[in-house]
Amino acid sequence: MMNTCHYRPTTAVVHKDALQSNIQSLRSYLKKETAIIAVVKANGYGHGIVEVAQVALEAGAKMVSVATPDEAILLREKGIESDILVMAPTTVAFAEKAADLGITVTVSDALWLQKVMPKTRHWKNRLKIHVKIDCGMGRVGVRDQASLLSIIQLIQEDEQFQLEGAFTHFPCADDGCIETTKLHFDKFKEMLQVFPEKPKLVHASNSAATLLYPEYGLDAVRFGIGLYGIAPSREVQEKLPFPLVPALSLESELSFVKKVEKGQAISYGATYTTETEEWIGTLPIGYADGLKRGLRGQEVLIQGERMPIVGTICMDQCMVRLPREMPVGEKVVLIGKQGKEEVLIEEWAERIHTIPYEIAVSISERVQRIYE
């Protein structure tokens, strides 16, 4: 459970208007008949699962999707009444709970259904199902028509099973692989022919495919990283059909300021030594908060200026080189805007050679989320 106290100045500020803007821009971009599934897994990509779900649904999303049963149950407990899709495989033990709460599960093989069927006779509610089809991701999903037919037949045999949808996932849409993505889409359409009737909700596109290939929209799209104002990749960023508005700022303040003589080492391992007399500021944020050690040298914003993190980043704190004396309590922006400057999550990702997704979900639970 997140601490509701605000004694620590390190906070993640989530801008609800940015989330709304990204949903509304997408709604205007898509065909009217294409619904939006807001992906809120991994604590809403670090932004807050419940709060993001609420904002997205109010802004026009039809339903939400998550990765785990626990995430889905939490949303129900917090009053989210829309359809909730658990996109990853779940245990047989979760099936009855999902039916009770009206949570939609993903089915990728006939064996799972066979294990569940003996338990359904005493259920009060039907189990809503989306069938996952693997068209090239190689992770989860049925891969051939015969296996898909077996799944369909088992769903039809048990009146407690309710087929709601079918979906796939594009592994290369964010890399600009037009031909590969088309091949995967064509295979998906071919697999759909096995269904005696088209499922109510057929979806294939993640954020990258949604933004680059509107023709693959089908009945719904899954809007994940784009919902949070982050482009899935540099390739997608360069071709965005509408601006994405970043929804998160990471902020702190100077907790200690000191003048250090020339030749003094700063932090663990003496990885930084002052070249002249310098002002050094300490921030109450470290790698336990998501400020990864590889971000040494990354710039933060203070008084609208960029200033570098120096020395090894500690678990709970880090140090920055200041151009002059500054007061304790001065606001620091690590991600976000201050004055005319802005630090994006993408900048962090490039520095440590990863993707923005990883940065967003790495901001730890002990960093207080504030919603504005």
Q: Six-digit token pair at 145?
A: 């028509």
Catalytic residue IDs: 41, 268
Task: Quote the CA–CA distance of 121 and 73 in Å, as a whole number.
Answer: 23
Angle at 162 between CA 159 and CA 163, to 5 degrees: 130
Q: Six-digit token pair at 254?
A: 């100077």
**H-assigned helices in 128-264:** 145-157, 178-192, 207-212, 234-237
The residue whose two tokens read 């050690």 is 293
Let me know: does 290 contact 257? Beta carbons within 8 Å.
Answer: no
Let me know: does 107 contact 161? Beta carbons within 8 Å.
Answer: no
Whole-angstrom CA distances from 11 to 3, 43, 173, 365, 370 are 12, 16, 33, 10, 7
Residue 203 DSSP class: E
Whole-angstrom CA distances from 129 to 83, 147, 170, 192 are 11, 16, 20, 15
Residue 285 amino acid letter: I
Task: Quote the CA–CA distance of 368 and 34 in Å, as a whole number.
Answer: 35
Relative orientation angle of helices 69-77 and 49-59, to the nearest 10 degrees: 70
**H-assigned helices in 165-255:** 178-192, 207-212, 234-237
Closest alpha carbon to 35 in 196, 210, 199: 210
Whole-angstrom CA distances from 307 to 191, 234, 323, 334, 357 are 54, 25, 8, 10, 25
Mapping DSSP to helix (H, G, I), strand (E, B) and coil, where does residue 228 land?
Answer: helix
